[in-house]
Amino acid sequence: MSTTTNRIGTGGGHWGMRADVLRHGDGHDSSRVGYVELFFDLVFVFAVTQLSHSLIAHPDLTTLVHTLILGWAVWWLWIDTTWVTNWLDPDKVPVRTMLLVLMGLGLLMSSAIPEAFEDKALLFAVPFVLIQVGRTLFTVWAMGRHWPENAQNFVRITVWLSVSGAFWIAGALTHEERTRLVLWVVAALLDVAGPRALFWVPGLGPTNPHTWSVRGSHMAERVSLFLIISLGESIIVTGTAFAELELDATTLLAFLAAFASTVLMWLLFFDRSEQSATAYFSSQTNPGMVAQTAYTYVPFLLIVGIVLTAVADELVLEHPLGHTGTWTAGLICGAAAVYLLGNAFFRRATGGRWSVAHLVGVVVVLAVFLLRDALTPLALNWVSNGVLLAVIVGDVVLGRRGRTQQQPEP
């Protein structure tokens, strides 16, 4: 940790104006993920399930665009809260209360996801904006007396979230679906641009990134847990679809293909990327910008890959044989390509080189899409899994070769 965190004063966990609700210390206990944070994550199990089920129920390009926009909002809400709890102590009563309030609002927001572009736009947008702006104002209060430099950062963030929130609400109030889409795209782009613009505000200027004193192990663990949530949702989709089908050899093969894709995605990130990235991230003296790229922007690609894979797996389970439609083939190959690309970006953002195996895998799996007329959905799914497995094997071989070449001669 940088000295910024160590300068923070100590204090009690009461509700008074002098309450100190910040994390303190540099050890493992001070960076551990609290049980209330895990409890908070349960809302996002529901949110991710809502996103995938919406796309399953309405398999078209329009719903895909809607899913990506709503998914970005869900992810941004969660990662912004993770940044806050990286600094605030969830064992303190005010912080715990704040998280429980956000949890209730998040449940309301998630319930509206399937009809967010229809009759439940306000039910989605109002809780979302209340969470974003309310949590940030709470953080301004929490840091005001004990870490004023970062409190000033959150004043800037409040301005940005208020502006984007106005677009979210305006989009919800309009009755034209196309207008709503445009307004919500603008809102999402503002949310994307804020961190990269260092939350520049007229009169206040930009944030100094050196003040983003991040607890690396906490941030890495939280993002990994969200990926586990997404993979868990994939398993739920697969298990539910399989349970409703009659058991035969073809259905069993489709189930195994879906299970294999989930296992391969887990291996690609948790066995090949996560540990070295966490070590790199935790060792940085100024990890704020690393956290912004590797643990704020990039994981969304991984989540999109997982959610789209879950949707593709259900489609294959329901229709494993026959002609492979463009939609099904695009989901199978596109999901794998997005996930591999996300892994490659993550590796690069956490101190590694560009992974040749991952980049080649992206090209190959997109080329596999051209074979859709010659393969059944089930066969195409297994070929896509074969590409993921080849990337893992190639990554291991290239990694060992690189370590061997780096060893000094005796």
Neighbours of 405 (CB within 10 A): 7
Q: CA 236 to CA 199: how far, in whole Å?
A: 38
Q: What is the full DSSP assignment across 385-404?
A: HHHHHHHHHHHHHHHHHHHH
| 9: region left, alpha or beta (phi > 0 left; psi from -120 to 50 alpha) | beta
In three-state secondary structure terms, 234 is helix
Instruction: Assess contact for 286 and 2: CB atoms under 8 A.
Output: yes
Instruction: Assess contact for 268 and 339: CB atoms under 8 A.
Output: yes
For residue 201, list its beta bridge partners. 205
Q: What is the full DSSP assignment across 62-118?
A: HHHHHHHHHHHHHHHHHHHHHHHHHHB-TTSHHHHHHHHHHHHHHHHHHHTGGGTTT
Residue-level pLDDT at 147: 87
What is the token pair recorded at 51?
A: 């996103």
22 DSSP 8-state letter: B
In three-state secondary structure terms, 201 is strand
Measure the N-to-C terminal CA separation of the chain; round to a whole number of Å.
38
Neighbours of 38 (CB within 10 A): 12
Instruction: Assess contact for 266 and 231: CB atoms under 8 A.
Output: yes
Residue-level pLDDT at 215: 85
Query: Cα dist. 240→11, 63, 233, 243, 342 in Å?
Result: 49, 22, 10, 5, 27
Neighbours of 394 (CB within 10 A): 16
Long-range (24+ apart) CB contacts under 8 A made by 179-183 are: 180/117, 180/121, 181/65, 181/66, 181/69, 181/117
Residue-level pLDDT at 245: 92
Closest of 398, 234, 387, 373 to residue 303, by C-alpha = 234
24 DSSP 8-state letter: -
**pTM of the predicted model, to two decimals?**
0.90
Residue-level pLDDT at 27: 55
Instruction: Assess contact for 190 and 163: CB atoms under 8 A.
Output: yes
Instruction: Assess contact for 273 and 349: CB atoms under 8 A.
Output: no
Residues of the chain where predicted confidence (pLDDT) is lower than 70 = 1-18, 25-30, 285, 402-410
Residue-level pLDDT at 3: 34
Residue-level pLDDT at 30: 64
Instruction: Assess contact for 254 and 320: CB atoms under 8 A.
Output: yes
Residue-level pLDDT at 11: 39
| 189: region left, alpha or beta (phi > 0 left; psi from -120 to 50 alpha) | alpha
